[in-house]
Amino acid sequence: MSLVDPFGRKVTGLRIAITSRCNLSCLYCHHEGEEANPTGSREISKDEIVKVIRAGVDLGVKRVKFTGGEPLLRSDLESILKKLPGGLDLSLTTNGTLLAGRAKSLSEAGLGRVNVSLDSLRPEVYSRITGGTVEDHRKVLAGIDAAVEAGLVPVKVNVVVLKENEDEVWDMVEFVRGRGVILQLIELLDFSGRGLGGDFSRIEGELEGRADKIVTRDMHRRRKYFIDGAEVEVVRPIDNTEFCANCTRLRVTSDGRLKPCLLRNDNLVDLGSADLEETKRLIEKATFLRSPYFCKGQNPSR
């Protein structure tokens, strides 16, 4: 069984926001494209998460990423992981503040790898961007080390490139080289319209200039730069027709709706109280509603 949308794109991944609650307040946050629901008044339940993943697996889903809000605010993540079918690529994106104490139990429950958001190595800049404290910053650093130790690899450190942190990129490259983790530089989707983004083209030009090797991943056609033992991946979705053309994921919102695209909210499919078979039909329906937001000759689509 496989899921293919009307543009010929296969769906092989689910990205599930398991809560909209967060313990940080990043200046730039896109809230996974959800309309704000910071109190999480309706939060997808453990059984609903397991059901949508099982239904997805029956239809060819191979990868699941848990996100939020801050997914580690849910204490039932380990018990969710334990109920999932084997053989899946299970990963998590987290702000890392609660990771150090959970890395081992998450790994034992079946999580494969983590992405940890860390927008600055300087505690004061980190605080300005995320609203977190100096102590939170220390916990994130400890969380990265704990994740490596627990075997949640490859650990990726996510950095959204901002005016505030663009001068730190080469320090970040040193940071990841020393720890055996991957640096993932993300282009800002400027939902706030405040011009917070850094000069990504300049940075990518510098990466190109210093790279020993450059490879392109299938997923979103993301480029990876290898620089003297450090690995740097770039995520540039804006106006990127290749990014959308190679998108293989369907999203699930924190209130239990299928979301075909990060950037749209006019085509959500409510999972309601559907049983497993009905959930499969709803996943097929949401797949049919997928269309590339940035596509050649038409921008945005539909």
The residue within the footprint of ligand SAM, chosen from 97, 117, 240, 254 (CB under 6 A), is 117
Q: Whole-number minimum distance, CB 156 to ligand SAM, in Å?
A: 9
CA distances from 101 to 67, 70, 121, 263 (A): 18, 15, 21, 34
From 75-83, 88-96, 106-114, 162-170, give the range in contact with ligand SAM by CB under 6 A: 88-96
Q: How far is the CB of 91 from ligand SAM (least distance, A)?
A: 11
d(CA 157, CA 172): 9
Cβ at position 229, least distance to ligand SAM in Å? 24
DSSP H or E run through 14: strand 13-17
Instruction: Give the whole-angstrom CA distance, residue 197 versus residue 191.
Output: 11
Q: What is the maximal distance between C-alpha atoms in the chain?
A: 53
- Contact window for ligand SAM (CB under 6 A) among 90-98, 217-225, 258-266, 278-286: 90-98
How far apart CA 287 and CA 63 sit, in angstroms, is: 16
Q: Quick one: DSSP state of residue 85? A: P
| Closest distance of CB 130 from ligand SAM, Å | 9
Of 27, 29, 211, 245, the one binding ligand SAM by CB under 6 A: 29
Secondary structure (DSSP) of 196-219: -B--HHHHHHHHHHH-SEEEE-SG
CA dist 248 and 11 (Å) reads 4
15 is in an annotated binding site: yes
62, 191, 201, 299: which one contacts ligand SAM (CB under 6 A)?
191
254 near ligand SAM, rule: CB under 6 A: no
Partnered with residue 17 across adjacent β-strands are 67
Beta strands in 95-242 (DSSP E): 113-117, 156-161, 182-187, 213-216, 223-227, 230-235
Q: Among 167-175, 188-196, 221-229, 265-273, which window interacts with ligand SAM (CB under 6 A)?
A: 188-196
- Per-residue string for binding with ligand SAM, 52-71, x by CB under 6 A? ---------------xx-x-
Q: Is 295 labelled as part of a ligand binding site? A: no
Determine if 28 is a binding residue for ligand SAM (CB under 6 A). Answer: yes
| Tokens of residue 138, six digits | 């220390």
Confirm whether residue 250 is marked as ligand binding: yes
In this structure, what DSSP letter does residue 165 have? Answer: T
Q: Measuring CA to CA, which residue among 212, 237, 41, 32 is closest to residue 117?
A: 32
Q: Is residue 253 involved in binding ligand SAM (CB under 6 A)? A: no
Residue 94 binds ligand SAM (CB under 6 A): yes
Quick check: 30 binds ligand SAM (CB under 6 A)? yes
Q: Per-residue string for binding with ligand SAM, 167-186, x by CB under 6 A?
A: -------------------x
Binding residues for ligand SAM, per CB under 6 A? Answer: 22, 28-30, 32, 67-68, 70, 93-95, 117, 158, 160, 186, 188-189, 191
